[in-house]
Amino acid sequence: MENDSRNETGKKGKVITEEIGAIKRIYSRLYFVRGDIEAIEKMEIKSEAIKGLISGISNRTEILMEMLLGELNEKSRITQKGSPTGAG
């Protein structure tokens, strides 16, 4: 019975570890997108519509990155406890 509990905890830990890896990969890609956006913002763009569009994309990228960091922190906290319930 105890062995079944350990197997289940191990499976959950593996899933969380995979999720952390996925979050890190997505964050890394967004980091490069943010760099591209910053380069575009430095260009002398005349169109206010394009400037507004770039600004909106920049804001949404920052929000996504913040959300991913929050999710990453939560997943990391769970793995540090040993199990999602904290019983490990």
Predicted confidence (pLDDT) per residue in 6-29, tens digit: 666 677 778 888 999 999 999 999
pLDDT value of residue 39: 94
Counting every residue written for the chain, the total comes to 88
User: One-letter amino acid identity for 23?
Assistant: I
The residue-averaged pLDDT of 34-56 equals: 94
Looking at the domain covering 2-78, what would its CATH class be? mainly alpha
Could you report the per-residue pLDDT of 51-66, keeping only the tens digit for each?
A: 999 999 999 999 999 9
CA–CA dist 48, 51 (Å, integer): 5
All structural domains of the chain with their residue ranges: 2-78
Output the pLDDT for position 15.
85
Looking at this protein, which amino acid is placed at residue 53?
L
As a whole number of angstroms, the distance between CA 16 and CA 73 comes to 12
pTM for the whole structure: 0.71
